[in-house]
Structures are given as structure tokens and as C-alpha cells.
Amino acid sequence: MLEKIPTNCRYGSARVSSKSQEENSSLESQKEEFLQHGVPEKNIRIEIGSAADTISERPVFYDLIDEELKENDLLLVTKIDRCSRNTLEFLKLQEKLFKKKVTFLSLDLPYSTDMAVNKLIATNLAAIATFENERRKDRQRQGIEAARKAGKYRGRKTVITKKLIAEVQDLKETKNLSITQIAKVTGKGRNTIYKVLKEELNYIPYNRLVKTGNEGK
């Protein structure tokens, strides 16, 4: 079936969830599979983001589906979950591609010249991917709850951004709020606010935080 589709009508959609070294390896592997199936490199679309996101939240994939793909084109992915881990979202995607008369194939699945069979297989696999994703989330929640009860859960490490630093600086220097008050306004923990003031804004601890260089004024 692939032989009947001109190479310039073949597209590949590659997705990774982060920029880590492991994910970069996955990305290269996906690209290699597309090239082996005759997809021109210029027709390979790459995106960093979660498959849990809706298609509208993934601009590269959204533009590919909505704007680039035309009648009789072919869309390849290396795995179903590179498209979506939400069954309903995947069904909507399949219906949209069907109406545009775009052939969709996942390279981890057997495919048939009967597109109805391909659609059935892909839909079932998408449902399984959704199920596995929900199971993973449940196990994660159970693990967190167990760690909390054991007093071992500390939550995710807060990322200190430039935006947070600027917000803390404004609240401290313009409104003279306390650490507790700043924590409530920003929704961050007191330890995070203390760290921003001390390490990013050069405040030093006395009975209260005083900015470095103000001691003699």
C-alpha cells in the first residue's frame, strides 16, 4: 500500500515529552523509521510535549493535521501513543483524517489494505494506551499517598523562575510583605520564598531578612 503513495505525500509526526538525552535518542529513532518508510526529511514534524495534551495544545501537530495534510496524503507515527493517550481525542483525530481522505498508519501495528481494519486496530490500541495511562496515574497517586503517610513525600522540586523572582522582589520591596504573606500571594512555600530572597535577591537573615548592603544605612 505504501508503494502507491508518492514520497512527497508522506508525512511523519515525531513527539518526545522532554529535551533529555534519552528522549533525544527516541527522537532520532523515530526520524530514522520515517526515513526508512520513504518520508522526506522536510516532511517530518517534531514536537516536544505530552501526549496527554489535547491536539489544540500541540501547535505543530495541530497545524499538520489541520493545514498541511491534504487528500491522499499519508501520516505516519511510530506508536499510537505518540498521537494521544486519550481514546476520545484519538477517535476525533481519526474521524478528521478520514474526512480529509488522509491515510493514517502507526508503524508498531500491522496494517491492511482495508483501512477499516486499520482504523479498528488503531482505535483498540488507543483505548489500551488510555487505560495504561490511567493505571500509571493511579499507581503514582497511591505511591504519593503512601509516602505522605510515611512522612517521606516532599513533593516536586519548585523551579525558581525569573517571573517568580521579580514577583517576590516587588512584593518585598514595594509592599514590604513578610515571607508568610508573600508565600500566600504567590502560592509557593515559605522555604521557596526564603530561598528566593536569600539566594536570588541577596537578602541576609537577621531577626528578619535584610538586603545585603543596607546594614549601615
In residues, how long is the chain? 217
Instruction: Please give the C-alpha separations between residue 186 and each of 13, 137, 162, 171, 181, in angstroms, as whole numbers.
Output: 38, 27, 13, 9, 9
- With 0.75 as the threshold, say if the pTM is over it: no
How is residue 40 written as a grid cell? 522526506
- pLDDT tens-digit profile of 13-26? 998 876 564 466 78
Q: Which of 87-96, 160-169, 170-179 has the lowest mean pLDDT?
A: 87-96
Please report, for the chain, the start and end positions of each structural domain, with discontinuous segments joined by +. 2-133, 162-211
How is residue 13 written as a grid cell? 509526526
Average pLDDT over residues 201-207: 65
Confidence of residue 129 (pLDDT cuts 50, 70, 90): low
H/E element holding 24? helix 21-36
Query: Is the Cβ–Cβ distance between 43 and 12 less than 8 Å?
Result: yes
Give every CB contact of residue 211 below 8 A, 6+ residues apart in sequence.
201, 202, 203, 204
Average pLDDT over residues 173-186: 87
Confidence of residue 128 (pLDDT cuts 50, 70, 90): low
- CATH number for the 2-133 domain, one of 3.10.290.10, 3.90.180.10, 3.40.50.1390, 3.40.640.10? 3.40.50.1390
The single-letter DSSP state of residue 72 is T
Confidence of residue 201 (pLDDT cuts 50, 70, 90): confident
How is residue 91 written as a grid cell? 477517535
